[in-house]
Structure 1
């Protein structure tokens, strides 16, 4: 399997508000940057979307190290919370529904296709790829033509 390094970040201008994600895909000497924005979303959704879009960009199963500054993403995957919510019909407990089940389902499905190790990096701490992903995400949410986060907007 190809070994790929992925760096991701999400941003939101207001929370909820305009959002964006930034991605760097690195494979050997190859490097690709991706970004996109949404007119109304949340920061957590953009952090998740960055990981999803990055993994969806891979055209065959890969051995991935995914770096993100989102504890929400890293902890939910590495501590098994997302799989537990999925097994409990997207309930965190008897009274509280898990947030963002649409994106968690996509991310869990992608983790079945690829071998993914999630690594947390401290945001805004000088990590070059994280800083570049942040710039991409912020620029994406400032675009004029933004996509619609239909699931989020339907819930509001």
Structure 2
């Protein structure tokens, strides 16, 4: 039987694009752990995706994971758009390369190891764990540590 884990994630950007961060809270039985990190130049959608990816990467064995997110982009991306993107070689209906392709390919790869249920919640609506992740994400965005090379590459900027 798979371990059952609950994960709450949020992403934030101070300007879009601008400095951003993600916040994660992982709960297993009575244990909780939080993670967050910030980036100098990124977008809100990239931070929402990054939060989910970095959270799943913390789980070292195959598990049943319930992911709670306030991102319609992530929820719809996984549950509605992902299969079609893969069939169309990561292209949109209009035959354009999808935004944030690097993160979507990474997320698709790591999802295969887990059974994942997705739950969307309204942001800034008093959901305790979502608010906690939001605070972690905003705090990290204010003190960025990393450069989001995926954002730079997808926007055709010259990398450092």
* Alignment TM class, shorter chain as reference: over 0.9
For structure 2, the 5+ residue unaligned runs are 156-160
Deviation at 1:148, TM superposition (A): 1.1
C-alpha RMSD of the superposition: 1.0
For structure 1, the 5+ residue unaligned runs are none
CA displacement 1:110-147 (0-9 Å, x = unmatched): 2111101111000000000000000000000111x521
Contact 2:25/2:34 (CA < 8 Å) preserved in 1?
yes
Partner of 1:147: 146
Contact 1:65/1:119 (CA < 8 Å) preserved in 2?
yes
What TM-score comes out, normalization by structure 2 length?
0.93
Partner of 2:135: 135
Deviation at 1:51, TM superposition (A): 0.3
Question: Does 1:11 pair with 2:9?
Answer: no
Please give the residue correspondences for 1:1-156 in structure 2 after superposition, counting only pairs within 5 Å.
Answer: 1-79=2-80, 81-143=81-143, 145-156=144-155
What TM-score comes out, normalization by structure 1 length?
0.95
Contact 2:26/2:32 (CA < 8 Å) preserved in 1?
yes
Aligned length: 154
Aligned partner of residue 126 in structure 2, secondary structure: coil
Aligned partner of residue 133 in structure 2, secondary structure: helix
